[in-house]
Amino acid sequence: MRWIWALALSVFGGLAQASETDPKAAVAPLVVARDAFYEDVALYQNGSLSEDQLVERIANQFAPLLDDRKIALRVMGRFARQATPEERSAFTERLQTSLVDAYARGLTVYGGEQLVLPETGVILQPARALVEASLEAPGKEPLPIQFALGYQQAAGWRVENVVVAGINLGLTLRNQFAELVKTTGSVQGAINAWDYDSASQGVN
């Protein structure tokens, strides 16, 4: 399941300029991320991209679109209030790097599965939407995926959380950060220890 988790990570950064009550627009960032994922896979698998080039391409495509600060604060959870502005900034950067790394590694184990998206999402309330999707492959049961999105006037719809087959991405990362605080003894220690393995904890 590593590759679809990588795709889930990537769509954290998807965005589209549209109305906060438009159910079709809520799906648009997922379509953009999915299509970019398939394109990157094809280029990597046919030898057009090296692994280093793949990582650079992903960083250029997705990193600028990430709502870094919001995602980082959610992953830090209650420890965000204990952190200094410098620590929050440092973790934002490390989290972004780990997500891009996880996405790049996920591409290498992609097996041809298809992410099936609905034409419209469900507007739960203005600026909040849910998109019910599935991962499908011949001879396998469809894997349910839920995307929770929030709308920002300046950026449009952004994916804020993903649940893959009942595994909550945001909660998984938050628990991993809390565990690192416990094992290292400090917020700064958790930030220093955060890497690709941290972002991937509980996925494989």
Residue 201, amino acid? Q
Q: Cβ(32)–Cβ(39) under 8 Å? A: no
Q: Helices 85-107 and 68-76 sit at what angle, rounded to 10 degrees? A: 100
Query: Which has the closest alpha carbon to 174: 192, 158, 190?
Result: 190
Residue 114's beta-bridge partner residues? 136
Tell me the pLDDT of the chain (204 aa) as tens digits: 555 555 555 555 444 445 788 899 889 888 887 888 788 888 888 999 887 887 777 766 665 455 667 788 889 999 999 999 999 999 988 988 887 777 667 666 677 888 899 999 999 998 899 999 998 988 889 999 998 888 887 777 887 788 888 888 888 899 999 999 999 999 999 999 998 777 766 444
Return the pLDDT at 186: 96
91: buried, middle or exposed (CB in 10 Å: 19+, 13-18, 0-12)? buried
113: buried, middle or exposed (CB in 10 Å: 19+, 13-18, 0-12)? middle
The tokens of 100 are what? Answer: 């891009």
Classify 47 as helix, strand or coil: coil
Domains assigned to the chain: 2-200 (3.10.450.710)
Query: Which has the closest alpha carbon to 198: 187, 178, 88, 185?
Result: 178
Give the DSSP letter string of 90-141: HHHHHHHHHHHHHHHHHHTT--S-EEE--S--EEEETTEEEEEEEEE-TTSP
Return the pLDDT at 8: 59
Return the pLDDT at 40: 82
pTM for the model stands at: 0.78
Report d(CA 163, CA 29) in Å as an integer.
16
| Residue given tokens 């396998």 in the structure block | 140
